[in-house]
Amino acid sequence: MRVLLQRIREGWVETDTGRTERAGLGLLALAGFHRDDTADVLEPMARKLIELRVFDDGQGKMNLPLAAVGGHLMVVPQFTLYADCRRGRRPDFFQALAPGPAAELFGRFVAACRALTSPVTAGTFGAAMRVHLINDGPVTLLLDSRDLG
**Domain 2-143 indexed as CATH 3.50.80.10:** yes
Amino acid at 104: E
By annotation, the residues acting in catalysis are: 78-80
pLDDT in tens, 11-39: 999 998 889 888 999 999 999 999 999 99
Cα 26 from Cα 52, distance rounded (Å): 12
Q: CA–CA separation, 8 vs 73, rounded Å?
A: 9
**What residue ranges of the chain have pLDDT lower than 50?**
none
Give the C-alpha separation, 23 to 74, whole Å: 7
pTM here is: 0.95
Which sequence spans correspond to the domains of the chain? 2-143
d(CA 14, CA 26): 18
Task: Provide the pLDDT for residue 149.
Answer: 67
